[in-house]
Structure 1
Amino acid sequence: MAPPKYNIGDRVVVRDETTLFHARTQKFTRGRTGVVVEHRHEWVIPEDEAFGRDEDGRKEHFYVVRFEQRDLWPDYTGFDIDTLESEFSERWLEPADKGK
Structure 2
Amino acid sequence: MATPKFQVGDKVRIKDRTTLFHTRTQKYIRKRVGTIVEHRPEWVIPEDEAWDRMETGRKEPFYVIRFKQTDLWPDYTGLAQDTLESEASESWLELVKG
- The amino acid that maps onto 2:56 is D
The 3-state SS of whatever aligns with 2:70 is: helix
Q: Which runs of 5+ in 2 are unaligned?
A: none
For structure 1, the residue ranges without an aligned partner over 5 or more in a row are none
SS across alignment from 1:88: strand
Deviations 1:34-59 (A, max 9, x none): 00000000000000001100111000
Which residue is equivalent to 2:40? 40
Counterpart of 1:51?
A: 51
Structure-1-length-normalised TM-score: 0.94
- Once the 2 structures are TM-superposed, how far is the Cα of residue 17 of structure 1 from its aligned partner? 1.4
Q: Secondary structure at the match of 2:86?
A: strand
Q: Write the letter of the residue equivalent to 1:71.
A: D
Please state how far the C-alpha of 1:2 moved relative to its aligned partner.
2.9
Distance in structure 1 (CA, Å) of the matches to 2:23 and 2:59 = 14
- Name the counterpart of 1:10: 10
- Paired residue type of 1:29: I
Structure 1 segments (4+ residues) deviating >6 Å: none
Matches within 5 A, 1:1-100: 1-97=1-97
Distance 2:64 2:2 in 1: 18
Coordinate RMSD, CA, aligned = 1.0
% identity of equivalent residues: 65
Letter aligned with residue 6 of structure 2: Y
